[in-house]
Amino acid sequence: MTADLYPPATREIAHMRRGLAPQTQATFDAFSRQVFADGVLSAKMKQGVAAEMRAGAAYAHSTLAIATFEEEQSGPSGT
């Protein structure tokens, strides 16, 4: 069994992320609070946003998978 590509989300990782990029995290948190506040978006729109985020993540993960596949196909010497 292979190791997971990404570590599981934990409080420790969240704390580290906030410490490394506090302004970026604060901006993201503020955005999330505003966008997902009651009455800002309909439930249907929130579901659409979530679906698009999943699709974006799938695209990013597929890019990583393809790159890994290509590396494995080229062998350890890169040939």
Q: Band of the pLDDT at 66, cuts 50, 70, 90?
A: confident
Output the pLDDT for position 23.
93
Q: Which amino acid is present at 20?
A: L
Is the CB of residue 27 less than 8 Å from the CB of residue 19? no
Output the pLDDT for position 3.
64
pTM: 0.46
Is the CB of residue 25 less than 8 Å from the CB of residue 17? yes
